[in-house]
Amino acid sequence: MKKLIMAAIGLMMAVSVSAQNRAVSNTPFYAGKWMVGASATGFDLSYHKGEKWRVGLEAKAGYLFVDNWMITGKLVYNNSTYTHSVFGLGAGLRYYIEQNGLYVGAGGKFVHSNGIDDFLPEANVGYAFFLTRHLTIEPELYYELSTKCSDYSGLGLKLGFSLYF
C-alpha cells in the first residue's frame, strides 16, 4: 500500500511540474523565442542639438536566451540636416519587466558618417503591445550619448513593429 501511495504522489508531482513548465512557456517572453522587426525614429520626435530635422530607420533582431532577457542586434540608417547619412551597427540587452510587455534596455552602436566614426551608448524603455499572437507594435523612448561630440547625443521616440516567433 505504501508503494502505491508513493507512486501516486510521485505521479501527481510530475504532472504538477509539467503543468508549471507549460504555463511558463506560454508566456510571451520565454527562453528560445526570436524577434525580428523594424522601427522608425525622427519626424520631429527626437532632439539632437543643432539638428532641425532627422529621420531614421532601424532593422533589429533579438533572441530570448533566458526568460525575460533578450539580446538584440540592429542595423541603423539616419538622415538629418546636421550629419547627413549615417550608417550604424549595434547590439544591446533588453529585460522585460512584466509579462505585459514593458521593457528596459541598454546597448550601444557604432556609426559612420562622412569619415566620422562614433560610438553611442543607448538606454531605452518601451512597451511591446501584441496586436496578434506574433505581431507587436513597440513604442520606445531612448537616450543616446555620443562619445565624440555632445551635439550628436539625443533623446527621442521610436515606433516599431516586431514579429515574435
What's residue 18's pLDDT? 39
Low-confidence spans in the chain with pLDDT less than 50 = 4, 11, 14-24
DSSP assignments along 23-34, one per residue = HHHTSTT-TT-E
Asked if 93 and 68 touch (Cβ cutoff 8 Å), the reply is no
Q: Is 117 left (phi over 0), alpha (psi -120 to 50) or beta?
A: beta
What's residue 26's pLDDT? 58
Nearest 5°: the CA angle 140, 61, 58 is 55
